[in-house]
Structure 1
Amino acid sequence: MTLADRLRARLADPVDALLTGDLNGAAPMPAGGWRAAAVLIAVTERDEPGVLLTQRTGDLRTHAGQVAFPGGSIDATDGGPVGAALREATEEIGLPVGAATVVATLDRYHTVTGFEVVPVLATVPPDLPLVPAPLEVDAIFEVPLRLLLDPANFAVGSRWHEGTERFYHELIFGERRIWGATAAMILNLARRLTWP
Structure 2
Amino acid sequence: MTPDDIRRRLSHAAVSPRSQGCASDARAAAVLVAIEPARGVWLTRRSAHLLHHAGQVALPGGSVDPSDASPEAAALREAWEEIGLDPAQVELIGRLDDFATGTGFHITPITALIHGEPRFVAAPGEVAAIFPLGLDALLDPALPEWRRGTWHGGTRDFPVWPHPDHVIWGATAWILLRLATALRQG
Regarding TM over 0.5, the answer is yes
Once the 2 structures are TM-superposed, how far is the Cα of residue 6 of structure 1 from its aligned partner? 2.8
SS in 2 for 1:172: coil
Unaligned runs of 5+ in 2: none
* Stretch moving more, 64-73 or 165-174: 165-174
Superposition map of 1:1-196 within 5 A:
3=3, 5-11=4-10, 12-13=12-13, 29-30=22-23, 32-46=24-38, 49-194=39-184
Letter in 1 for 2:30: A
1:44/1:51 contact within 8 Å kept: yes
| Separation in 1, partners of 2:74, 2:14 | 23
Unaligned runs of 5+ in 1: 22-27
SS in 1 for 2:45: strand
What percentage of aligned pairs have identical amino acids? 43
Letter in 2 for 1:162: H
CA offsets 1:7-58 (integer angstroms, 9 cap, x no match):
231234479xxxx97xxxxxx744x432111100111143xx4111111111
Once the 2 structures are TM-superposed, how far is the Cα of residue 155 of structure 1 from its aligned partner? 1.4
Once the 2 structures are TM-superposed, how far is the Cα of residue 104 of structure 1 from its aligned partner? 0.8
Q: TM-score, length-normalised on structure 2?
A: 0.87
Q: Structure 1's 29 and 118: CA in aligned 2 closer, same or farther, altered over 3 A?
A: closer
| Separation in 1, partners of 2:89, 2:163 | 26
